[in-house]
Structures are given as C-alpha cells and as structure tokens.
Chain A
Amino acid sequence: MNIALIIPILLPIVAGVLIQPLKLHDRKTRETYVATVVLINFAIVVFLALTAGSEPTTILRLNRLIDITFKIDGMSKLFTVLASFLWITATFYSFEYIKHEGMDERFYTFFVVTIGALIGIGYAANLQTLYLFYEMMTLVTFPLVMHSQTEQSVAAGKKYLTYSFLGANIALAGFFFLYQYCDSTHFVEGGSLNLEKIGTNITLVQTVVLLTVMGFGCKAGMFPLHAWLPSGHPVAPAPASAVLSGVITKAGVLAIVRVMYYMVGVDFLRGTWVQYVLLALTLYTVFMGSMLAFKEKLFKKRLAYSSVSQVSYVLFGLMTMHPLGFVGACLHMIAHAIVKNILFLSAGSVIYKTHKTYVTQLKGIGKEMPITMWCFTIASIALVGIPPTSGFESKWFLAIGALQSDIGIFKYLGPATLLVSAFLTAGYLLSIMSKAFFPGEDYPYDTMVKTEANAYMTIPMIILTVLAVGFGMFATPLVDFFSQIAGLIM
C-alpha cells in the first residue's frame, strides 16, 4: 500500500482544473503556476520510479470486479518518466507558442490535466483502471485537438473522438471476454491466462485478443484505425501535437503491452495466426505511413503520417514476441517520443515565426532559423536511424529481434520493411533539410532576416536533441533495463 502513487495523478488534475477558478489572468503568474506543477510532478514521478516498491495499491473498490488499483513496475517507470519529462519541454515551449493561438487558460487547463491522466495510465495495475484513465485522456485531449476552433480542427476533433471511443470500446469489450479466462484481473508478468478455463474456445480467445490489440492500436495509429491521426495531430497547437504524437500514441502502445504481455501472455500467441495478422498489420502501417508522408506537402501532416509509421515500428517490435524485439520496441518508444517532439516543436517554431505551413515554402529557412533547423536535421537523422543516434539503436534491436524470432517470412520481411520505410523517411525529412540549409547560390543573403525563435522555444528543442543523440550513444543502461523487463515477461 503506497498512497503516494496517487499524488502525481491527482496533482495535475486538480491543479489543471483550478486554473480557471483561480483566475490566473496574469501571464507571468499563470506560467509560473503551470511550470511549477509540471516540474513538481516530474520530480515526484522520478522519485517514485526510484523508490517505490512494486506492491499494488487499491484506492477504491466498486464491486468485486471493478477496483481502482495502481502499481509501479518497469513499464510504468518507462512510460511515466518519459511522459512527464516530455511534458516539461512541451510546457515551456508552449509559453511562447500559445501567444499565437490565444485562449491560454483553456489550453493549460486541459494540457495539465492530460499529464495526470497519462500517469494514471502508466501506474494502472489492472485493465479497469487503465480503461478509466484511457477514456479520460481521450476526453481531455479532445479540446487540445480543436483548440484553434477552425472548421478543420473541429472536424478533426470529431474524428479523433469517434475513433478513440470506438477503439477503446472494442478493447473494453475484449476485456469482458478475457476476464472470463484469466486468473486475475490485475496485470501479471507473463500473463494470467488459464488454459484450462479456455478449453476448446481457443479461436474465440485469439480473436478477442486480436480485436483488443486492434482497439488499443487505434491510439497508436495502427491500421485499420489510424485515420484520425493524420487529421488530428496537425491541427492542434504545436506543443499539443508534439505530445499527442510523442506521448499519447505511446499510451496506446502501453495498453497493448499490458494486454499482450501482462494479461494474455505471449506464449499463448506466439506462432498463432493472431501473431501473423498483427505482424502484417503493423508492417503495412509502417509502410503506409512513410509512403503517405513522402507524398504529403503539408509540413505538420507529413510529420503526423510519419508518426503513424514510426509508432508501428514499436508495435512491430512487440509483435515479434522476442526479448530483443521487445527491447527494440521500448528503445524506439523513447527514441520516437523524443524525436517526434523535436520535429513538431521545430515545425511549430517555423509556423509561429514565419507562418509557412507547406514544405515547399521552406527554402532557406535554415539560414533564418539555424538553431531550430539544426535540431530538426539531427532529429530527422535520428528518425531515419543513422548511427550513432537513438533511432539506430532501436532499429538494431528491432531487426535482430525479428531475425532471431521464429516468425516465418516476416523474419526477413520485417527488417526489410523497416529499412524501406527508413529510406522513405530520409526522403521526406532530409529533402526539407537540404532545401532549408542549401537554398542555392541565388538566395538573397542580403535581405535575409534572422527570425530565430526565442529561448522558450529553442532550449527545449536543444535539450531534446542532445537526448536524441545521447540515448543512441549511451544506450547500454536502457538496454539492460529493458532486457530485465523482457526477462520477467517472457
């Protein structure tokens, strides 16, 4: 029993809700307040990750089926520390950016509440708790998506809500089935599926698992429920799209990990048709995302398509059901979260400073905004997976994991698809870089105005860029940590 676990969940929720009643109309006060909340929250999360034991803490018990229980394990640590850290950078960035959007108080309210919901997802010890915070996250990020209130963003918000509810409900329905056959509703390493209870219903359970994963896959942008992502992410304000793409999609991934590795157990799935279907879906998504990003001309939409593809790298790693693939998936979760934050933040800076939204308009932008575009370039290289950046380390483990697992043709098809996608990634990101930094000899250097964004925007990007490269150079501790988790659940 560790009641401290609810502090990082409740603190942001309460603090966020209080923004309106406290009438923090003064910009400085409001920013100090928000910054304090996210920083304290991060400190608590880190503290808990380092000290808290793994015993479950039940906060509320509705009936014998539904209880709200929290617990910290390896995946919780990964997810919560990552999310709350990225929240800090996005928050500081938004102090400047939100001037451009207006309606600050409403934005901060939902922005701060969201991190509470995310931590709730991270700490959830059973599927009911997870589902509660999962739906909460959907509802509180919905206003972020349609913050600008243009027709487009409202339509995107509508789509977001519809798809999210649909996905979550499929997943919830799946839980009702799974509950029948599991020994425990709580997440147990390696799963608690009871083969005796299943008896002859194996195909039913397999189908249910497939549907549950596909349902949660909606948040992670997995085909076939991916369509909300390319319309939802680009319309949100840049800091919100950064965390939507970087962190919220990972909530879907975490939910899939919980279902596959903590409820069902991969031994039940390994080698079945479910695994092959999921592998095919993820690989298709990887290819589709990159391909459409390659063809997309709208800057932020291109990045959103890229997220579709990259998050499915993570899912592919999970679907290999091999310890190394799992390690690769976790590494890529971190790598993509950081990199996609940088990319969206730098896209946001460009839009904020120059109002250019199409990639074709970005000629010479690297001369005008060197720091922003340097961060963008390094992040692009990391996303393509060029050593020694973090993207390479994750790709290494994903590919080796796939090659060493026993998944038939996907053994070779998987790594090959990842590399094709990486090539396309280079095509859609590096072309921006080359136009930005090498505008041609006829570029008007004399009339050029330096429009670099200010420190609120650049410092978060620089910190993230250092991390994006640093995690690649010094990946050993992370690899050890994830191998440990993989050892427990497989």
Chain B
Amino acid sequence: MGNIILPILVFWPICASIISYLIGRKNKKMRDYWANFVTIVEFALAVSMIPTVIAQGSVYFTLAPFGHERLYFQMDGFRCIYGVITTFMWMCTTIFSREYFAHYRNRNRYYLFMLMTEGATVAVFLSGDVLTLFTFFEVMAFTSYVMVIHDEKPGAQRASETYTYLNVFGGLVTLMGIFLLYNTIGTLEIDKIKDACAAVPDRKMLYWAAATMIVGFGGKSGMFPLHVWLPKAHPVAPAPASALLSGVLTKTGVYGIIIISCHMLFGDWVWGCVLLGIAVITMFGGAFLALFSVDLKRTLACSSMSQIGFILTAISMQCILMADPELTGEFHFYGVQGAILHMMNHSLIKLCLFMSAGVVYMNLHKLNLNDVRGFGYNKPLLKFIFGMGVLAIIGMPLWSGYISKTLIHESIVERIFMYHDIEFAARVFQVVESIFTLTGGLTTAYMTKIYIAVFWEKNAYNQEKMDASNGKYMNKASAFVLTISALVLPFFGLTFYKTMIPISEFGSGFMYLNGHPHVVPFLEWACLRGAAASLAIGAIIYILIVRVLLMAKDENGKTMYINAWPKFIDIEDYIYRPLVVQVLPFIGAFVTRTIGNITEVIGKVGYKAYWAFANFYQPRKPNAHKFIEKSKELYPKLKPDARLAIEKMKVAYQNSNIETWDKQDDKRTIEPLTRVPVLDDFEDMKKEGYVVPHLGGWFNRFANNYGDNPEEENKLSSMLRQTMSYGLIIFVVGLAVVAAYIITQTL
C-alpha cells in the first residue's frame, strides 16, 4: 500500500473512459463535458501531489497481488513533473477535441481509448518497477493505436499498421531485454537497478539487455532507425491525438531510455558513445526530413524526431560526462538538466504547435503547404500562438527552448574542453558540436518555412477562401487552451531562474545527478553564441535552400513549395515492409512447410504401400461386361415380387458405379450399374467362380442414412471403409503387441 492518490491517478481515467462510453451512447454533449471533467480532475490530482513529493521526496503505492507479483507505483520529482505535464496536455487536447471532432464519426470510440491511454501513460511515468512500466507501456501502445487510426483513411490505416507492428515488435524485443535483465540482476525495482547493475561483474549481459530493451523504447520515442512510424502516423492522426503522440507518448520511450542509461548503465562510456551516435543521426535526420517536407503536420512530426534526438544527445552526454574518471562527473548536471528540461519543453511546444495545425486542418481539411498557404495571414491570434511555438522550438533566447538547448550544447562543449589534450576524442566531439549547431540551424529554417508559408504569405490562388473563416475559425474554449499553451512558453523562458532551473533540480534525482549544478550564465555571450550561430545558419539555409531549391514556379508563374525529397529514400517502404511482409515470411513458410511435410509424405507413402500390399492379395475380380451380361441373362428368370423389389432398389442405386479390375490387362473400369444384382444371382455367380462385388453392409447403410447424393454416398462409404481398415490395422497391431506382451509376462 502507500499513497492512495497514485493508483487513483492511473485508474480514474481508465474507469472514467468506460463511463464516458456509456454516456456517449445516450448523449454526445454530456460525454464531451464528462471527458473534460475527467481530465481536469486528473490534472488537479497531479498538481496536488507536488507539495507531497517536495516534502517527502518520493511516495509509493503497491498493488498486490497483481500478475505474478504486484503493481508498483512510485512518484519522485521527475515522475511528478511528467505526471503534471501529461495530465496538463491531456486536459488541453481534450478541451480542444470537442470542437475538432465535431463532425467526426466514431467519436465515442475515440474518447474511450483516449481516456484509457491517459491512464496508461500516467501509469508508465509513475511506474516503480520495470514490469509495471512494461505492462502499461503495452496497454498504451494498443489503446493509442485506436487514436492513430481514427480517421480510417488509407494513409491512416497504413500508418497505424506500421505503428502497431513496430509497437509489438519493439515490445517483444524489449521484453527479451527485461528477461535478460531480470535473469542477470534478479530485481526489476527501478530504485534498486542501479546498485544491482553496478555489482554485476560481467557487463556483457547488461549490454545485451540494454541493446534489446532500447528497441521498444527507442521505437516509441522515434529513435533512428525505428523512427519510420513517426513521420507517417503523426500527420494522419487527428490533431489532438498527434499532439499527445508527439508530446507525451514519445516521452514514455525516452523514460525507458533514461532507465537504461541512468540506472542500468549509469556512467557507462561505451553505452554513452553508442547512444550519442544514434542520437546525432536522429537529431540531424529528423531536421533534414523536416526541411524537405511540404506537409504542415509532417514537418512537425519530423521535427519531433529531431527534438527527440536532442533529448537523447543530452542523455548520452550525461553518460559520457559521468564516465570520465578524472573530473568525477563534475559537468554531469548539463546532461541531466538538459534532458529533463528539453523533454518538458518539447512536450509543451508540440502541444501548442500541433493544436494550431489542428485548427488549420479543422477549417480547411488540408495540410499541404501550398493549400494552407495564407491561412493565418489575417488571423492575429493564431499567428501569435503559432509564433510562440516557433520561437521556442528554434531556441530563441527568452523562450523556453533556449535554456534546454543551451544546456545540451554546453554539455558537448565541456566534453571538448575536458579532452582538449586528446586530439582524436576532441575532434569527434567537435564534429558532434557542429552537427548540433547545424541541426539548430535546420530547425530554424524549417520552422521559418512553415511559419512564413501559413502566416506571412498570401495564398497564390484563393486568399478569399482563406480569409472566409476569419473570426470564427475556432471557438472560445479552443482559443483559450491554445493561448494558454502558447503563453506557457515565453513564461518559462523569461522566468527560467525561478522556474525551469528549480524544476530540473527537482527532477534530477531520477537521473542520479552527481554533485551540485553550477550556475550557468544563460544571458552572457558565452551561451548566447551557440543560439546566435544556429539562428544565423538557419537564416542562410532558409534563404539559400528553401527559397531557391525547394520552391519553383508552377504553370501560372506562381511560386509554389515543391516536394524535392526523392521517393525511393524511404526505409519503411523499401526495406522494412518488403522484408517483413514478403521476404522473411516467404523464406520462413517455405522452409517450415517443406520440413513439416516430411511426415505427411511418409504417411502417404505408407498408406499407398498398405494398399499396394492389400491389392497384391486381392482375388480376381469379374470383368464388368461379363458380369452385366450374366445379370441380364438371369433377370427374366426371377419371380415377379423379386423383380418389383429390384425395381425399387434400382431407384436407390441408379447412379451407383461399379469398379472392376481386369487383372490380365491391368485395367480399371468404372461403369454405371444398370441393374441391381440380388442375392440369388450372386449365389449363382459365386458358383461360377466370380468374386461378387459387395454392395450391402454397415458402411453403405451408414452412408445412405446420412446423405442424399448417391455419388457422395459411394465415395463416403469407400473412404470410411478405407479409413476404418487402415486405422484398425494400426490399432490391431497395437493390440497384438499388448497381447503378446501379456502372454510373455504371464508365462
């Protein structure tokens, strides 16, 4: 047991989701209010936990028995921050959903799964052991699937297919990692993992565990090369869902990666370097993809991937900074604070941006930049809201993004200074630093691109249509939450010493912050320099690449955005899908089917051999012609009542066939039986040395009783006969062995 609020935080939305479904069947409006109420209560509950956590440091709740062990929830500083952010985002998007979904079908389904996902996501962040984490991670994966596919357009179906298979695949590989971890250290309680892992002499198993566990968590967070679902699923999901997917669900993956990097492999140099490599590719790749995108939400989705790369860079840098034996991890705090703050910032920024994009989509039902161009030209409020998001994400000083990006940047710079005497290592980190700055520039460029396209430029063809909805493009409730989500960003950015830095210190216990953080001079040139470089590079890229290479004149001479990204560079379509859908199943099925058929073949050969053997001893059968002639000859000699009986039987046997075998010619003939021989005939024929075909008997009667098609009957009866005889032979062999054995024993 423990603090009762923790399970309430988890199970309140899950229970409320079912109530919401039931309400929704009766009254749609009530359902919407109920969902708002649920998320507001949830947010209030999460906020109410802050004083408790500050006072007690960490609170727990154990629900046992559950599964084979228990559910274990824990709330410390970091989890508290993420609990509050998650519930805040859910509250905002739910309030926004009411307007966004007004004309959608299957809304009840959406609300059911949306609320369930909230419970599961909160549970992931509150999990105190890896098994609880994994349980809710999987629940979340399945419930969020419904949010992705909600539109049911072909694109959504395909994207959600990718999403769910990546989830299942990642989940299973992660499970393998959890097996290995549990097998190595014998505990899964997150608080105990660090010490238990440090005591393991053989690191090999831990590396294996980490490498497998990161597949699921990395897949969820959008880490390269498992990012493929992200740029496809976020654009097609409804906007409130994309905000949650991008802002919160990716962070559950990051949460898992933190457990790997800060608990299992705390201060592990090798792990830090590997993760840094992946992080840099993710960071740069996402930004690069975003630059080429001409779809509003796709740009934001790629941007999410890139920002996750920033967060992963921070996490890997804290590993690397901690691993240095000389400096005893003095600069560890850069990585820790950078990771926590950038996670938080990214969630809030994406909330603002995706909801604004949702407003665009809600009005136009289009997302292509050329189609939505000029939508915000005459809409000052939306222009302001989106602008806040843009300024925050590009790391403009005095907005929230600047603080976290600077911390991450400083972590790399510190590492370069620490290694100034080792040429090669310093070089490597210098490269990392320049990619970091370049990615910052790309971020500036692609955000400027969409901001200018939607809010500064006029639509080339139909600006009246764009302006038609001015003043009524969103209702008051939506406008309210959007404004809140936008104002949060400069608020944090302006008051960072009072807000962001204490928040990051509050959460740093989860990442085992080493020592005390230094005071970073954020507003001095040393720090501003990085941001300035990024912004300058961004401006150059925008002017030289976006305006020149990524825009072209169409047939009417108007300048349009063009999709210059080559189609064939798509690892999902050209590597993963063919591999998983065609190549591997083909090989697998071919091999297994071939081997699996071995017994079948042996069985068939055996069966044939048995019949060949049986036929070998079969007596001579009559020639069909002779048999029929003989019958005709006998027929007139019969008594009248016998003839009547035969006529009746004839009807029953009309289509019956008779199969005969001429042994001399080795020829089988099948002929229709035109008349039915009776017993007297058979007796005669038997005397003449013929073997008489057998027509009566139990099997024929069985077949006749249960069928109406004589042809079928005949087939059935012969099959049955064969079956029984083959089965019985084997059975009899068994019995004979038994008998023989009993005899030998009793003698």
Interface set of A (CB-CB < 8 Å, partner B): 63-66, 103, 135, 149, 151, 154-155, 157-159, 161-163, 165-166, 168-169, 172-173, 176, 223-227, 284, 287-288, 291-292, 294-295, 381, 384, 386-388, 392-393, 395-397, 399-400, 403-404, 415-416, 419, 422-423, 426-427, 430, 434, 438-441, 443, 445, 472-476, 479
Interchain CB contact under 8 A, B734 and A168: yes
Interchain CB contact under 8 A, B68 and A434: no
Taking the complex as formed, is B737 at the interface, i.e. its CB lies under 8 A from any CB of chain A? yes
Residues of B within 8 A of A151 (CB): 712, 715-716, 719
Interchain CB contact under 8 A, B723 and A157: yes
Taking the complex as formed, is B575 at the interface, i.e. its CB lies under 8 A from any CB of chain A? no
Closest to A164 in B: B727
Residues of A within 8 A of B153 (CB): 440-441
Taking the complex as formed, is B592 at the interface, i.e. its CB lies under 8 A from any CB of chain A? yes
Interchain CB contact under 8 A, B585 and A291: yes
Q: How far is the CA of A419 from the CA of B213 in the complex (A)?
A: 13
Closest to B745 in A: A65
Chain A contact residues, majority secondary structure? helix
Q: How far is the CA of A225 from the CA of B706 in the complex (A)?
A: 31
Taking the complex as formed, is B363 at the interface, i.e. its CB lies under 8 A from any CB of chain A? no
A226 to chain B, nearest CB (A): 7
Candidates B65, B607, B706, B733; contact of A474 at CB < 8 Å: B65
Interchain CB contact under 8 A, B592 and A154: no
Closest to B712 in A: A151
Task: Give B134-175 as 1s and 0s: 1 = Cβ < 8 Å from A's Cβ atoms.
Answer: 110011001000000101111001001100110011011101
B208 to chain A, nearest CB (A): 9
Q: A158-B719, A172-B734 are in contact. Are A475 and B68 (CB under 8 A)?
A: yes
Q: How far is the CA of A423 from the CA of B588 in the complex (A)?
A: 13
Candidates B65, B138, B722, B733; contact of A158 at CB < 8 Å: B722
Q: How far is the CA of A322 from the CA of B52 in the complex (A)?
A: 45
Interchain CB contact under 8 A, B706 and A149: yes
Q: How far is the CA of A135 from the CA of B728 in the complex (A)?
A: 12
Task: Give B709-747 as 1s and 0s: 1 = Cβ < 8 Å from A's Cβ atoms.
Answer: 000100110011011001100110110011001100110
Interchain CB contact under 8 A, B65 and A419: no
A296 to chain B, nearest CB (A): 9
A284 to chain B, nearest CB (A): 8
Taking the complex as formed, is B516 at the interface, i.e. its CB lies under 8 A from any CB of chain A? no
Residues of A within 8 A of B69 (CB): 476
B497 to chain A, nearest CB (A): 43
Q: How far is the CA of A166 from the CA of B610 in the complex (A)?
A: 14
Residues of A within 8 A of B67 (CB): 387-388, 392-393, 472-476
The 5 closest A-B pairs by CB, nearest first: A158-B723, A476-B65, A387-B135, A288-B592, A169-B734
B479 to chain A, nearest CB (A): 29
16 new A-B contacts, CB < 8 A, other than A149-B716, A473-B66, are A63-B742, A63-B746, A65-B745, A66-B742, A151-B719, A162-B723, A169-B730, A169-B734, A172-B734, A172-B737, A291-B592, A292-B589, A294-B585, A415-B179, A441-B153, A473-B67
Q: How far is the CA of A480 from the CA of B596 in the complex (A)?
A: 37
Residues of B within 8 A of A416 (CB): 176
Interchain CB contact under 8 A, A474 and B66: yes
Candidates A154, A161, A284, A291; contact of B589 at CB < 8 Å: A291
Closest to A285 in B: B596
A333 to chain B, nearest CB (A): 16
Interchain CB contact under 8 A, A445 and B105: yes
Q: A227-B600, A292-B592, A387-B135 are in contact. Are A434 and B585 (CB under 8 A)?
A: no
Chain B contact residues, majority secondary structure? helix
Residues of B within 8 A of A387 (CB): 67, 131, 134-135, 138-139
Task: Give B41-78 as 1s and 0s: 1 = Cβ < 8 Å from A's Cβ atoms.
Answer: 00000000000000000000000011111000000000
Residues of A within 8 A of B168 (CB): 384, 422-423, 426, 430
Interchain CB contact under 8 A, A225 and B599: yes
Q: A155-B719, A434-B161 are in contact. Are A162 and B603 (CB under 8 A)?
A: yes
Closest to B729 in A: A165
Residues of A within 8 A of B169 (CB): 423
Interface set of B (CB-CB < 8 Å, partner A): 65-69, 105, 131, 134-135, 138-139, 142, 149, 151-154, 157, 160-161, 164-165, 168-169, 171-173, 175-176, 179-180, 182-183, 585, 588-589, 592-593, 595-600, 603, 607, 706-707, 712, 715-716, 719-720, 722-723, 726-727, 730-731, 733-734, 737-738, 741-742, 745-746
Residues of B within 8 A of A439 (CB): 152
Residues of B within 8 A of A227 (CB): 596-597, 599-600, 603
Closest to A135 in B: B731
Residues of B within 8 A of A284 (CB): 592, 595
Q: How far is the CA of A229 from the CA of B251 in the complex (A)?
A: 45
A331 to chain B, nearest CB (A): 9
Q: How far is the CA of A395 from the CA of B138 in the complex (A)?
A: 15
Q: How far is the CA of A384 from the CA of B172 in the complex (A)?
A: 9
Residues of B within 8 A of A440 (CB): 152-154, 157
Interchain CB contact under 8 A, A441 and B723: no
Interchain CB contact under 8 A, B738 and A403: no
A392 to chain B, nearest CB (A): 8
Closest to A294 in B: B585
Residues of B within 8 A of A176 (CB): 737, 741
Residues of B within 8 A of A157 (CB): 723
Q: How far is the CA of A388 from the CA of B138 in the complex (A)?
A: 9
Interchain CB contact under 8 A, B726 and A158: yes
Q: How far is the CA of A226 from the CA of B169 in the complex (A)?
A: 28
Residues of A within 8 A of B592 (CB): 284, 287-288, 291-292
Interchain CB contact under 8 A, A224 and B172: no
Q: How far is the CA of A445 from the CA of B741 in the complex (A)?
A: 69
Interchain CB contact under 8 A, A154 and B716: yes
Q: How far is the CA of A441 from the CA of B694 in the complex (A)?
A: 63
Q: How far is the CA of A176 from the CA of B734 in the complex (A)?
A: 12
Q: How far is the CA of A396 from the CA of B712 in the complex (A)?
A: 51
Residues of B within 8 A of A479 (CB): 68
25 contacts between A and B (CB under 8 A): A103-B706, A159-B603, A168-B734, A225-B599, A227-B596, A227-B597, A284-B595, A292-B592, A387-B135, A388-B66, A388-B135, A388-B139, A392-B135, A395-B175, A396-B68, A397-B68, A400-B182, A403-B179, A415-B176, A419-B173, A440-B153, A441-B152, A443-B152, A474-B66, A479-B68
Interchain CB contact under 8 A, B152 and A386: no
Closest to A166 in B: B730
Q: How far is the CA of A65 from the CA of B745 in the complex (A)?
A: 8
Residues of B within 8 A of A161 (CB): 723, 727
Residues of B within 8 A of A166 (CB): 730
Q: A63-B746, A165-B734, A294-B585 are in contact. Are A386 and B723 (CB under 8 A)?
A: no
Interchain CB contact under 8 A, A165 and B603: no
Residues of A within 8 A of B727 (CB): 158, 161-162, 165
Residues of B within 8 A of A295 (CB): 585, 589
Q: A151-B712, A419-B175, A473-B66 are in contact. Are A427 and B165 (CB under 8 A)?
A: yes
Q: A149-B716, A162-B726, A403-B183 are in contact. Are A381 and B142 (CB under 8 A)?
A: yes
Residues of B within 8 A of A438 (CB): 149, 152, 157, 160
Interchain CB contact under 8 A, B595 and A288: yes
Interchain CB contact under 8 A, A419 and B738: no
Q: How far is the CA of A55 from the CA of B318 in the complex (A)?
A: 65
Interchain CB contact under 8 A, B716 and A434: no
A63 to chain B, nearest CB (A): 6
Q: How far is the CA of A169 from the CA of B165 in the complex (A)?
A: 44
B580 to chain A, nearest CB (A): 8
B265 to chain A, nearest CB (A): 20
Candidates A292, A396, A434, A441; contact of B160 at CB < 8 Å: A434
Residue among A388, A423, A473 with max Cβ neighbours from chain B (10 Å): A388
Residues of B within 8 A of A287 (CB): 588, 592
Interchain CB contact under 8 A, B723 and A154: yes
Q: How far is the CA of A422 from the CA of B169 in the complex (A)?
A: 9
Residues of A within 8 A of B716 (CB): 149, 151, 154
Residue among A161, A176, A225, A387 with max Cβ neighbours from chain B (10 Å): A387
A411 to chain B, nearest CB (A): 9
